[in-house]
């Protein structure tokens, strides 16, 4: 076979890439030139191959560093109501990162079978009112599966929230899941490599959970990734909603139109970003 073909990388393992072509899958290695240029192909990349070599990578519409996945259409952010406890700080952080990457966001609140979800409805409906589709597991598995459509999707969220468990419910993928550590109330990392798994006409990648996440953006960009802040008209153009007079966001936090946890998380992210910036 000597002709060029275009396909998508659906799996990477030890420097070898599985490419999905129209009718077949083929394992390829990248040309040495990529290593010299320090370019690493990623799962999700559209590539041109020739003679079992990746010879070019199409421009990415977006990419995640960790896990390394490119061209993501949709992310399922999984947050557990319990075990581990609801972590709105990490949820808001993940939302910011995904808004920044311009990925469609779907929110999944897991383990509703372990706790009465009625006490969480004020939180979950707040996010729904921001325009994010909200689902609960295990109840809404079929609806979540339908959200995949023909998209390239990833699941993201803290370790132990049930990401692999959810994907296993879509189909028999036999992804490894783990008992969460009861003493710590958080999970162990059980998901290691990255692969796009076929679900209907789309694809989904499981990802390893994490406890922390670095926000790599400036403060104005951060403020824009809070949808309800972006919609407000503050007195100053480019208001960062911290100390500026005539700030509509601060006023709406005080009168309860904006959820206080959202604003508090925003302030904590602002602080993280400021702490990271080198001082000259
Ligand atoms: N009761 C209940 N248990 C769940 C649910 N989802 C997951 N679990 C359990 O939670 C534990 C962790 O689930 P995993 O699917 O391994 O979690 P994960 O998010 O993939 O974790 P990492 O791979 O470490 O990031 C397992 O014991 C699952 O059986 C759920 O909806 N209800
Ligand atoms: Mg997992
Ligand atoms: Zn403001």
In this prediction, residue 189 carries a pLDDT of 47
What CATH superfamily is the domain 69-205?
Answer: P-loop containing nucleotide triphosphate hydrolases (3.40.50.300)
Which pairs count as long-range contacts for 51-60, CB under 8 Å and 24+ apart, including other chains? 51/1, 51/2, 52/26, 52/27, 52/28, 53/28, 53/29, 54/9, 54/17, 54/19, 54/28, 54/29, 54/30, 55/4, 55/31
Ligand 3 centre to CA of 279 (Å) is 25
Q: What is the CATH architecture of 5-59?
A: Beta Barrel (2.40)
**Contacts (Cβ under 8 Å, ≥6 apart) of 36:** none
- The pLDDT averaged over each successive group of 10 residues in the chain (280 residues) is 89 92 96 92 97 97 90 97 96 96 97 96 98 98 97 95 96 78 45 83 89 84 97 94 97 98 98 80
Which residues sit with Cβ closer than 5 angstroms to ligand 3, an ion?
234, 239, 241, 247, 249
Q: Which CATH superfamily is domain 219-276 in?
A: Probable gtpase engc; domain 3 (1.10.40.50)
Q: Which of 110, 157, 160, 182 to mutate to test the pocket of ligand 1 (most atoms within 8 A of CB)?
A: 160
Q: From the alpha carbon of 110, which atom of ligand 1 is closest?
A: 31
For residues 81 and 109, is the Cβ–Cβ distance under 8 A? yes
Atom nearest to 191 CA in ligand 1: 23
For ligand 1, atom 27, name the residue with the nearest CA.
Answer: 179
Torsion of CA 165, 171, 78, 218, to 10 degrees: 130
User: What is the number of the ligand closest to the CA of 139?
Assistant: 1
Give the closest ligand to the alpha carbon of residue 178. Answer: 1
Segments making up each domain of the chain, as ranges = 5-59, 69-205, 219-276
Atom of ligand 1 nearest to the CA of 168: 15
pLDDT at site 65: 84
pLDDT digits (tens, 9 = 90+) for 6-17: 999 999 988 899
Name the residue of 67, 79, 165 to mutate for ligand 1: max ligand atoms within 8 A of Cβ: 165
The predicted pLDDT at position 192 comes to: 53
The reply to whether ligand 1 has any atom less than 6 angstroms from the CB of 158 is: no
The answer, as to whether pTM is greater than 0.85, is: yes
């Amino acid at each position: 076979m000597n002709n060029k073909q275009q396909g998508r990388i659906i799996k990477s393992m030890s420097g070898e890439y599985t490419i999905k072509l129209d009718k077949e899958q083929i394992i390829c290695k990248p040309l040495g030139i990529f290593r010299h240029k320090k370019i690493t192909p990623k799962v999700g990349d559209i590539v041109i191959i020739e003679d079992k070599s990746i010879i070019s990578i199409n421009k990415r519409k977006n990419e995640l560093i960790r896990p390394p996945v490119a061209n993501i259409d949709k992310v399922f952010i999984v947050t557990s109501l319990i075990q581990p406890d609801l972590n709105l700080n990490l949820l808001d952080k993940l939302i910011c990162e995904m808004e920044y990457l311009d990925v469609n966001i779907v929110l999944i609140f897991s383990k509703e079978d372990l706790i009465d979800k009625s006490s969480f409805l004020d939180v979950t409906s707040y996010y729904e009112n921001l325009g994010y589709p909200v689902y609960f597991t295990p109840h809404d598995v079929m609806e979540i599966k339908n959200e995949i459509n023909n998209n390239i999707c990833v699941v993201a969220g803290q370790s132990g929230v049930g990401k692999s468990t959810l994907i296993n419910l879509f189909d028999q993928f036999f992804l490894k899941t783990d008992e969460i550590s009861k003493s710590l109330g958080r999970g162990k990392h059980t998901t290691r490599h990255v692969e796009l798994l076929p679900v209907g006409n789309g694809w989904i990648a499981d990802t390893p959970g994490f406890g922390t996440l670095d926000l790599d953006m400036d403060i104005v960009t951060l403020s824009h990734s809070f949808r309800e802040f972006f919609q407000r008209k503050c007195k100053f153009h480019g208001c960062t909603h911290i100390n500026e007079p005539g700030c509509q966001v601060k006023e709406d936090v005080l009168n309860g139109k904006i959820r206080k946890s959202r604003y508090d998380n925003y302030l904590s992210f602002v602080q993280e970003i400021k702490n990271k910036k080198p001082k000259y």
